[in-house]
Chains A and B, each alone.
Chain A
């Protein structure tokens, strides 16, 4: 499959359970990015279920589980059980951790594709990941379309990959959907992903089905990417009607990735009620998001100086509403005041704190009205 080389291999790195040792997994994540992979890291304290659900939604080529608590014989059977349950047995799972020699074979027999120890050379791990990714049997475009029409999430996930690779350009269009498409943009680190996570859960709580397209930048040097948005959005209990897809921007400028619009439409056609789009931490002129969404929310934070700085910028003009996030920090009132005085017209200004889960409901009201 030559087309494999067109987009990076997608790797999920999962930390399951309460163990917080993430030195190894972080070193690996960076090495993988530098090897040209797109890497999604789940963050800490995941369950077997949430990790495998992420693997499904993200159409992962190889899952790496990192376990340093020595609980692998309890945790790995759970992981493999969820892999089966969710219908993604085509996705190989490898384990990295402190595994006594006499337990390696037991884990391989159970269904792990490989087992690595803290001393395993990174080059060897990368080579194994490449080999496993290439061996993975994925659905053809036709299979994926059929499954999509039958409402199989696994097929949706694989179809999105075909779309992103351009393999369906001009040959397939999704059925017309009725999703409302909301863009979320703002400076790097302002809390876009955390906010979308709360917003998505808020919408789900009202009975809606929610999809997210989250774009993070690719490394201009290596072509790989660390896709960090998901980690901020989906922590705690996994939500059934909440489907997150992380994309790397590749060489596309303007804050979105390749074929982002088509992916959004595919979600809509699949039957989601809302599609939330997170752009790459936006500069003042990254306004591409405006073209593919119905409404754009611009996130700001207290004392960032953004309010003033942005007031003349293009990105202020495309916003339909503003959210001052991180209102748990000092200076929120001042920022709200500054912003209101800089604004003409009556676009709403919301206050929120994703850490405290405050102010989200008002935004959900506004979006759903």
Chain B
């Protein structure tokens, strides 16, 4: 199918030099943009917004071994942070153990390496799991890492119902964009629904899925595509959960979202506003949710990694500041600001601090927190919000015409469309139509290079050795029985969460449990979809 690229904001606004009341004539103000805190929440989900509570400043971190990250966690907790955010290394993200041949050179590099329950124990050693909120950025093996977390808590006498936190667990965007999938789309989604069901029954404080547009955008999608694909994914999880027999109000309030904030300032703000409106209407009318909380689109935002440049890295501080402001004017619930040196490697401590200070300046010096949705009622913002919504609707219709999100994945729709947009952006950059300061305009070679953090290769050796020891020490019979039970349950289509927890307790590793499931579900090779 030929894809027609979404009109981007630049072209959209090229139509007129300014916007006036005639552009929003006939608008249903009371129905579409009622005060903040009122359905359909175009202006935000809370009436008082940041006056009552500043957004959460959540900086994502994790590196090296479980012990190193544990030290870091404790340091953060001592300094008043209450939420922990865990980044895993690439092998763990791909459901492979640290000793897997493909893990070579990657162990502990971009996050912490967790292969077994033992690693998870050490990661949270001495941390009160009933008091912290933990977010885990993991997808294909998310159910296994959640099982590890639950098992560690159980050992300490803490029930699953006391655990608070968020699991990213959004496999659909992996198929669209980030490529960290393992099984084919259908069984992958089935596994997500297993966690949603388990969460609805046992974990009332846990956010089971963080439906993410961030990676879709970073892969090259436009703002509208990012938002529409993400909401379509949310609808897909909702429908699959309903098909499982769950009640919409049982799980909908535990769904949250995660968006990118790019450079196009007003378009980004409009994106957040339109997303809230679409989601509220869909949950209320299409899926018949009764509780107000089920209608809310709660989200986390992160500034756009792709906009950072290696050249003149100090410029990135400025980009991040504008993007952060757009996220806040858009009404986000939490925010991560990127560090200026992230194009090259993990950020240095100095750079991380500047990124956090950027948020603090925004929160405490600029006074943008004074009123909710300060741009509401601007002719331009309202018109743009309507346009973004309309274009998103067109995308929903395309997806429906293909039979829904999963069939659209199977037909390559998302990947093709993202590749198309990425190509268009790249051409615009190449021919100078899209300016990147310091790269294709205002270039100079006389700039300060920021220092780069390097990871000690010894981490990999130690981790591999520890894993070998753990495998030697475990009870072979119990381990074999647990994997056999998992295999059987996967074949019978049962909810796998209890079996993954049992597997964790029997010393089964991430890689072993993934393999057991892959034998039943198959492995997916995705495809390029140019």
Chain A bound to chain B: yes
The chain A residues found within 8 Å of chain B, CB to CB, are 17-23, 26-27, 29-31, 33, 41, 43-45, 47, 69-71, 74-75, 98, 100-101, 117-119, 121-123, 189, 194, 226, 228, 231-232, 235, 328, 353, 355-357
Q: Which residues of B are found within 8 Å of A98, using beta-carbon distances?
A: 310, 343-345
CA A194 to CA B449, docked complex, whole Å: 47
- B522 near A328 with CB under 8 A, answer yes
Interface contacts beyond A18-B96, A226-B530, A231-B527: sample of 20 additional A-B pairs, CB < 8 Å, sorted by A = A18-B91, A26-B528, A29-B528, A30-B419, A30-B530, A43-B528, A45-B94, A69-B90, A71-B105, A71-B109, A74-B105, A98-B343, A119-B310, A121-B430, A232-B525, A328-B184, A328-B522, A355-B184, A355-B522, A355-B523
B37 to chain A: which residues have CB within 8 Å? none
30 contacts between A and B (CB under 8 A): A17-B104, A18-B90, A19-B90, A20-B180, A22-B528, A27-B419, A27-B422, A27-B423, A29-B528, A30-B419, A33-B530, A43-B527, A43-B528, A45-B94, A47-B102, A69-B90, A69-B110, A70-B109, A70-B344, A74-B105, A98-B343, A118-B343, A119-B309, A119-B310, A119-B311, A231-B527, A328-B184, A328-B522, A355-B184, A357-B522
In the complex, A119 Cα to B426 Cα: how many Å? Answer: 10
Residues of B within 8 A of A357 (CB): 522
Q: Which residues of A contact B493 (CB under 8 A)?
A: none
Interface string of B90-106 (1 = CB under 8 A from A): 11011010000111111
Picked from A29, A235, A328, the residue with its CB within 8 Å of the CB of B530 is: A29
Q: How far is the CB of A195 from chain B (nearest CB, A)?
A: 13
User: Does B132 have its Cβ within 8 Å of any Cβ on chain A?
Assistant: no
> Chain A interface secondary structure, helix, strand, loop or mixed?
loop
| A264 to B: closest C-beta gap in Å | 26
Task: Judge whether A17 and B105 touch: CB under 8 Å.
Answer: yes
Cα A26 to Cα B527 in complex, Å, equals: 11
Residues of A contacting B94 with CB < 8 Å? 18, 45
Instruction: Check B404 for interface membership: any CB of A closer than 8 A.
Output: no
Interface pair A23/B528, CB less than 8 Å apart: no
Given contacts A26-B528, A70-B109, A118-B310, whether A44 and B179 have CB atoms under 8 Å apart is yes
Inter-chain contact A30/B522, CB cutoff 8 Å = no
B528 close to A75 (CB less than 8 A): no
CA gap between A196 and B90 in the complex, in Å? 30
Chain B residues with Cβ under 8 A from A121's Cβ?
430
- Chain B contacts for A74, CB-based, 8 A: 104-105
How far, in angstroms, from A194 to B522 measured CA to CA in the complex? 13
Interface centre among A18, A43, A74, A75 (most CB of B within 10 A): A18
Check if B133 is an interface residue, CB within 8 A of chain A: no
Instruction: Give, as a whole number of angstroms, the nearest-CB distance from A336 to chain B.
Output: 20
Q: How far is the CB of A351 from chain B (nearest CB, A)?
A: 15
Check B109–A69 contact: CB distance below 8 A: yes
